[in-house]
Amino acid sequence: MPIFRKNLITNDWVMFSPERKSRPSDYVKPTEDNRVEAFLKRPEKDDKCPFCKGNEKKDDKEILRYVPEGREKDDWQVRILENKYASLDRTKTPNKNFSLLCKEMDGFGIHDVIIDHPHHNKSLANMSLEDATSLMEAYKLRYIQVCDDPNVNHVVIFKNQGYKAGGSLQHPHSQIYGLPLMPFETKVRLGQMENYHVIHDHCLMCDILEMELKEKKRIVYENDSFVALVPFASLSPYHTWIVPRKHQASFRECVDLKDLADIMTNVCHMSFHALENPDYNFILQSLSHYERESEYFHWYFSVIYHTVRRGGIEFAGGLFNNPIMPEEAAEHLVKHKKKS
């Protein structure tokens, strides 16, 4: 039976229509090369891949090289480079030219690419805890550096995994943006959390987390520091939040990076097997500057899987249509937990 649910963090109404899963289709699904079997056959190194260890170029503008203790400099675990095809220009300043109906700002911004792992055939789904922890440490280090740029107002870390998610290269990598402005949807989340705090004198995400832990219907994985859950009103199938138990406004406050690596790898392992290596994005929702907002904003990672295509109703009015109930999605993911 169809039902509407309200996502209090994003302020979206979501239309759940389980019957839509069985609708007929005469479109031929395109053949893809990133399913489980194909992924597992990838080589450790691809001689044509610009991100594989050993293929480094002299003109790479390397910003950060993360080398675990006890290893030689060339034996890197994570590299961060200036994106050669950056969307923004870090040499500019964000000068504004505003009039009543025409507003412009020079295209300042930082756009880096993060090489997650030296091997071509690794992803968070099959990465060791040690390697994933190194990645989280590199994330945080670069996040703080970009936040501290005086022209940066907002910082985003994200991953485009697979073609449908906007990925262009198979090698495991992420990206980080330093922006001179805060995106609209981040402002919406900030406003929702602030309004809730004004009325209830509580953090909205903390209260959601308390409810989810009590009900145990949509929890996917948890450890001492983080909880992964499919939200009560998930915007798309299997949409997952990774939320710190401790109230923090910014990722730069996170100290439990090993636990973050643990939950990241477990969530990705489950979806890799449950959804057959789906294309996905994960996005850091965090505040770079948060003196005033620290009481009510709560940072988290959002994982969005591209298992269905968007249709007219989504584009017509921003009304999300999800054919899978969150409780069903969580149950399916949990069935594919790593075996201890």
Q: 226-230, long-range: CB within 8 Å, 24+ apart, which pairs?
A: 226/256, 226/259, 226/260, 226/262, 226/263, 228/263, 228/266, 228/267, 229/330, 230/326, 230/327, 230/329, 230/330, 230/333
The residue-averaged pLDDT of 67-92 equals: 94
Instruction: Return the pLDDT at 100.
Output: 85
Q: Is 197 exposed, middle or buried (0-12, 13-18, 19+ CB in 10 A)?
A: middle
Using pLDDT thresholds of 50, 70 and 90, give the confidence band for residue 21.
Answer: low
Using pLDDT thresholds of 50, 70 and 90, give the confidence band for residue 83.
Answer: very high
Judged by average pLDDT, the poorest of 37-41, 133-137, 239-243 is 37-41
Answering whether pTM is above 0.85, one says yes
Question: To 10 degrees, the CA torsion angle through 190, 196, 198, 200?
Answer: -150
Q: Which domains does the chain have, with CATH numbers?
A: 3-21+59-89+103-334 (3.30.428.10)
What percent of the chain stands above pLDDT 90? 80
CA 338, CA 26: separation in Å to the nearest integer? 36
CB count within 10 Å of CB 32 equals 13
Rounded to the nearest integer, the mean pLDDT of the chain is 92
CA 118, CA 126: separation in Å to the nearest integer? 13
- For residue range 133-187, what is the model confidence (pLDDT) as tens digits? 999 999 999 999 999 999 999 999 999 998 888 898 999 999 999 999 999 999 9
Instruction: Return the pLDDT at 34.
Output: 55
- For residue range 281-335, what is the model confidence (pLDDT) as tens digits? 999 999 998 877 899 999 999 999 998 877 776 777 778 889 999 999 999 999 9
Q: Is 258 exposed, middle or buried (0-12, 13-18, 19+ CB in 10 A)?
A: middle
Query: Is the separation of the CB atoms in 3 and 17 below 8 Å?
Result: no
- For residue range 322-336, what is the model confidence (pLDDT) as tens digits? 999 999 999 999 999
- Edge-to-edge order in the sheet of strand 173-179: 62-66, 78-82, 110-115, 173-179, 154-161, 280-285, 300-305, 240-244, 226-229, 219-222
Q: Is 329 exposed, middle or buried (0-12, 13-18, 19+ CB in 10 A)?
A: buried
Query: Is the separation of the CB atoms in 33 and 261 below 8 Å?
Result: no
Query: Is the separation of the CB atoms in 249 and 219 below 8 Å?
Result: no
Please check the confidence at residue 258 and state whether its pLDDT lies above 80: yes
- For residue range 192-217, what is the model confidence (pLDDT) as tens digits? 999 999 999 999 999 999 999 999 99
Contacts of 315 (CB under 8 A, 6+ apart): none
